[in-house]
Structure 1
Amino acid sequence: MPELPEVETTMRALAARLRGRRILRLERRVDRLREPLPADLERKVNGRRMVEFARRAKYIIIHLDETESLLLHLGMSGRLLFDGPPRGRHEHLTFHCEGGTVLRFVDPRRFGLLLLAERSGLATHPRLAGLGVEPLSPAFDGALLHRRFAGRRSDVKAALLDQRLVAGVGNIYACEALFRAGISPRRRAGGLGRRRCERLARAIVAVLEEAIAAGGSSLRDYVDADGRAGN
């Protein structure tokens, strides 16, 4: 599953190529991914300009030039790819954009999501409201991690994967951060002292920043929006 660095890498690639451009025509080949696609999707996005791009946890957010935003989740196997030939039966959505760019949403397992949301209500949107702190935000540090872990009986790896506590960290980077911090993944989260939490928080930030700089994970078939494998 794409984790925070892969989603951040994809979001940055989209912003670099598509910020300020219009969606001229959206083609859909299915009526649902993990959930049904919005019935009025084409009417709401065709002709709209993509004005800003953001990431929240593992969601890519595309702000359109009126009041709405697109929320994209890549699920287990989803990819957003620029141009190139059609990708066959796994290409479920195709965005034909101003300037000739084509963006293809390819998702063999169809666990991805594409939702429409009012921009003014994103903070309280059901998919976003319950998410935890962003680990690359100024608010994230060892003290916060220590407070979030307090009283928890689950192991520390499970706590890191709980998106209500820390948003966007998945299996690959949780394991690497725990290894760097010298903490067993089976250790009880609530039993970690402040000093170990500080060490773990630093390791999480370092691992994520290094992964983003390297273009994301190179596991299996992950590629960025330009078709390049991560490192």
Structure 2
Amino acid sequence: MADHPTTLDVPPLPLRGIHVWQFGLYEAAVSSVRLEREEMERALRLRNEFDRRSFLAGRRALRLLLAAYLDTSASAVHFVRRPCPVCGLAHGKPELAPPHEGMFFNASRCQRHLLIAVSASSEVGVDLELLGRLPDLRQLAPLVASRRENAGGLPGWPNDRSVLRLWTRKEAAVKAAGSGLTLEVTSFSASDDSGDGWYSTDGTLCGYRVYDLPLPQPLVGSVAVPGVAQPVTVFDGRRALAAR
């Protein structure tokens, strides 16, 4: 790998397999990474100071990580947005701009935590939530589960952890599909155990493989890919940042 002082030390990305990185959102750790004007303007539109700082730290960590996989500098990483599935304007799912458009990624922030999923061969979606952040998630069960899942498709349903787990699975699948707010999470199920991850089934979003991520409590996270099973490896981004 070439010597780019602002990147991280990452393992090779396999053709079939998903790498998921967990970071803590501490802006000082990545403050040397310069962002583009559009990213700074987007941060300024956020009203809350914590949200602005988290967004900036997250984008810098994302640039560092993608630059490491692409063997380039963080400033050479550029993004474009796909057309929105509703209006057609360019504010849909972000992706890498040419000449790096062959690699796929997705990110999710929650409080001071960040997950970034990277794939060399397929679309990917990731979602991260914090157990205990919202009180009594059982009230949200009808807004998360399909009709079949509400009828008892999950162990202990509904309790806070099972509701949040199902939510992250469905959000990851929706993000992998690039459907955004156009798809109701109650319109499909994500609780069918395939023996290697969970399948999204019996509704508007079928055929996605969803994996529950082994994260320390109280974090709950999932990653989703279309099609066949793929190995998922989780890495500690905080340790990688500390080693820079």
Shorter-chain TM-score bucket reads under 0.3
Q: TM-score, normalised by structure 2?
A: 0.27
Using the size of structure 1 for normalisation, the TM-score is 0.28
